[in-house]
Amino acid sequence: MRIEKFIIEMVAEELKRQYRKSENWKKRIIKRVLLGTVNRIIPGRLWIVRGIPELGDRYQYYEVYSRGERYLCTCYTHPWSGKRRPCTHVGAVMLYERIQTLLEPGPGFEPGK
Ligand SMILES: [Zn+2]
């Protein structure tokens, strides 16, 4: 589990730099992933992210849609969403997906052999 935490930190840092976000943004997306709030509904298309009131979420669930590299979150339709894009819901989805790709054994990988 330690190594996973390390990988999560590393990937989150990468996303933070890529999108020029703050350290706080990075911490929030890590928290969302570690709390298991990201649920993949349609691979590559739709995720549901459970809201965390502690992080200022006002809704129980957020839907994140993707079309290629572009992501949309239902929080973007709220007047208070401001310019915090990508929001931490989208950030958490990107982090989750990148980690899945890294941790899921790919074809040809047989643990223990
Ligand atoms: Zn959002």
Which sequence spans correspond to the domains of the chain?
A: 2-103
Q: What is the share, in percent, of the chain residues with pLDDT greater than 90? A: 70
How far does residue 93's CA lie from ligand 1's centre (Å)? Answer: 10
**ω before 86 within 30° of 0 (cis)?**
yes
**86/72 Cα distance (integer angstroms):** 8
Cα–ligand 1 centroid distance for 20 (angstroms):
17
Other beta carbons less than 10 A from residue 102's beta carbon: 13
Residue 112 CA to ligand 1 center (angstroms) comes to: 40
51 vs 2, 31, 37, 72, 83, CA distance in Å?
26, 12, 7, 16, 19
Least trusted range by pLDDT, from 44-58, 79-93, 98-112? 98-112
Q: Ligand 1: distance of its center to the CA of 104 in Å? A: 26
Average pLDDT over residues 52-65: 95
Predicted pLDDT of residue 42: 96
pLDDT at position 111 = 54
The predicted model scores a pTM of 0.87
CA distance 95 to 113: 29
